[in-house]
Amino acid sequence: MPSQTQKIAKERIRILFEEAEKAYPEHPERAQRYADLARKIAMRARVHLPRDLRRRICSKCKAYLVPGSSSRTRIRQRREPHVAITCLKCGHTTRIPLRRKK
């Protein structure tokens, strides 16, 4: 059962990512700061970033990723089908498997 602190932290993390999305076109450095703050809140409150938000941060350089401007997203068929997200700042590639329904 999450504590009140963890609930507040998750709410604030969502708000910071929404603000980062709004701020990115005009102020990319401000969007990066919002993403950094969200990560720090998550660490301090000991909560995981939700999966959809975790994928918006590069796992290597911690850059805020926006498809088309700070990251490249591709669907690959080699081996198992997967989505490949490449950070255009550091070049790190994250693979997200596409599982087939049985």
How far is Cα 99 from Cα 78, in angstroms, rounded to an integer? 14
Bridge-based pairing of strands 71-76 and 82-87 is antiparallel
How far is Cα 48 from Cα 61, in angstroms, rounded to an integer? 18
CA distance from start to end of the chain:
33
Domain-by-domain residue ranges, the chain? Answer: 4-97
For residue range 67-86, what is the model confidence (pLDDT) as tens digits?
A: 999 999 999 988 889 999 99
- Residue 1 has a pLDDT of 65
Start-end of H helices in 1-102: 4-23, 28-45, 51-54
Question: Under 8 Å CB-to-CB from 50, ≥6 apart: which residues?
Answer: 10, 13, 14
Percent of the chain scoring above 70 in pLDDT: 96
- Residue 3 has a pLDDT of 86
Compute mean pLDDT per 10 residues along the chain, 102 residues long, and list them: 88 96 95 96 95 94 93 90 94 90 65
Domain 4-97 has CATH 2.170.150.20: no
- Residue 101 has a pLDDT of 66
